[in-house]
Structure 1
Amino acid sequence: MSVITGGKLKLVQAALKLATERSNLTSLGLRELAREAGLNPNTFYRHFKNLDELGLQVLGYIAGEMKAGVRELRMVAESSEQAATNTVAFVYNYFLENKAATTVAVRELYGPSPILRRALEQQLNASAREMAEDILDRGLIPRGLSEQTVQEISHMTIRYILFRAMDYIEKPAQREAIQQETERFINRQFRGALLDHLSNDELDALTSGLAETD
């Protein structure tokens, strides 16, 4: 995670605050941004060429800490279920502690700036790749799933969590249920993928065995 300080940090923090009150980062005015940051408007161009460049810095600022924390949790997990539980708890707690950052990230994923949309997509894809790499390297899933399958599930998982982010923030009474639902979503994706690798005969045998236990 790159460290930003001084006037650049003040502008990033001001942009996060103001963007939660607007539709997106690129709708901000330079004068109001500088005023919120307590800086001279001309200071903006010492740090950024335009609002898109500021937006890229804001998105990087958002992503760094969360990605580092999530990866650390996966590296100490002993199973995919434990990894799912720990990761979901950490990420949703991050959402609560960084409501402005989360709101901005969700909005910009579908915002008007193609530069910021691509940047967010790249960050989401990078997070999914890291998730798949950690799962495979740590052996957190049973053998039988291909690297491509694990990457596909990781890709869906990252987007599902971001999709539920605003509900988690705005609906306190549903937070526990959303967290449990997200854990079930992740675990079901992996279990379902394992079933996809079974032959028809193996599926029939499994189905028959389940029927006999009912």
Structure 2
Amino acid sequence: MSVITGGKHKLIQAALRLITESRSLTSLGLRELAREAGLNPNTFYRHFSSLDEFGLNVLGYIAEEMKSGVRDLRRMAENSDQAARETVAFVYGYFLSNPAATTVAVRELHGPSPVLRRALEAQLDASAREMAEDLIDRKLVPGLSNEVIHEISNMTIRYILFRAMDYIEKPEQRTQIQQETERFINRQFKGALVEAFSPEALAEMKGGR
């Protein structure tokens, strides 16, 4: 995605400032956005053809910011446990620093705009696909099929988003939530590895204890 600058950037930042616990992206008005951004309302339509298109740009901006950071961390990881630990720490840290972005993602996934719902689902799928392809390319989870790695990556992305609001709103539980998320990811991969063994191999392993 190209870097967003100028009026587009001002409008997106204005939206993220206006979103609160009681407000969602789809509830923001054009004039309100322009006023918060310090722009003429007519400027909006120089950059976006509709509020849905604006919403797509907001979601894209959030996704690209997060994905670029996660991508760099996974490339430095030496094993799946390290990748899980550092990715979880980064993503929850991003949520904490950008609560409005998190609110957008959580709410619009079940919000009134079908365009934004589909876009957010597509972004979650893309993030999961990138996570899986990186794990496969770097051989961080040997012994698992590509199909299983993609399946677990998909579940992982959605689990993290599911826990995002709790992480923001319950500071006393943040360490616990982070640890639970790491365990969730590691158990998915390790459980899948056990499933990949034949019954004979598992019996032999048990017998060798």
Aligned-partner Cα distance in 2 for 1:25–1:163: 18
- The aligned residue for residue 163 of structure 1 is 162
Root-mean-square deviation (Å): 1.4
1:182-203 Cα offsets, whole Å, 9 max, x none, are 1100000000001111222223
Aligned-partner Cα distance in 2 for 1:99–1:17: 10
Q: Structure 1 residues 37 and 22, CA, compared in 2 at 3 Å: closer, same or farther?
A: farther
- The aligned residue for residue 40 of structure 1 is 40
1:141 aligned counterpart, secondary structure: coil
1:181 maps to 2:180: yes
- The aligned residue for residue 152 of structure 1 is 151
The answer to whether the Cα contact below 8 Å between 2:144 and 2:192 also exists between their aligned partners in 1 is: yes
- The aligned residue for residue 25 of structure 1 is 25
- The aligned residue for residue 195 of structure 1 is 194
The answer to whether the Cα contact below 8 Å between 2:24 and 2:103 also exists between their aligned partners in 1 is: no
1:138-164 Cα offsets, whole Å, 9 max, x none, are 11113x211000000000000000111
For structure 1, the 5+ residue unaligned runs are none
Q: Structure 1 residues 141 and 21, CA, compared in 2 at 3 Å: closer, same or farther?
A: closer
1:72: Cα distance to partner? 0.8
2:2 aligned counterpart, secondary structure: coil
1:82: Cα distance to partner? 0.5
Within-5 A mapping of 1:15-94: 15-94=15-94
- The aligned residue for residue 130 of structure 2 is 130
1:85-139 Cα offsets, whole Å, 9 max, x none, are 1111111111111111111111111111111111111111111111111111111
Aligned-partner Cα distance in 1 for 2:114–2:125: 16
The answer to whether the Cα contact below 8 Å between 1:20 and 1:104 also exists between their aligned partners in 2 is: no
The answer to whether the Cα contact below 8 Å between 1:25 and 1:51 also exists between their aligned partners in 2 is: no
The answer to whether the Cα contact below 8 Å between 1:128 and 1:155 also exists between their aligned partners in 2 is: yes
Aligned-partner Cα distance in 1 for 2:75–2:6: 33
1:26 aligned counterpart, secondary structure: helix
The answer to whether the Cα contact below 8 Å between 1:48 and 1:54 also exists between their aligned partners in 2 is: yes
1:109 maps to 2:89: no
TM-score w.r.t. the length of structure 2 is 0.95
1:98 maps to 2:98: yes
1:19: Cα distance to partner? 2.8
* Partner AA of 2:64 in structure 1: G
Identity rate of aligned residues, in percent?
Answer: 74
Within-5 A mapping of 1:4-23: 4-23=4-23
Aligned residue-pair number: 209
Q: Structure 1 residues 174 and 62, CA, compared in 2 at 3 Å: closer, same or farther?
A: same
Consecutive aligned runs of 4 or more in structure 1 exceeding 6 Å deviation = none
Aligned-partner Cα distance in 2 for 1:70–1:21: 26
1:20: Cα distance to partner? 2.6
The answer to whether the Cα contact below 8 Å between 1:30 and 1:41 also exists between their aligned partners in 2 is: yes
1:30: Cα distance to partner? 1.2
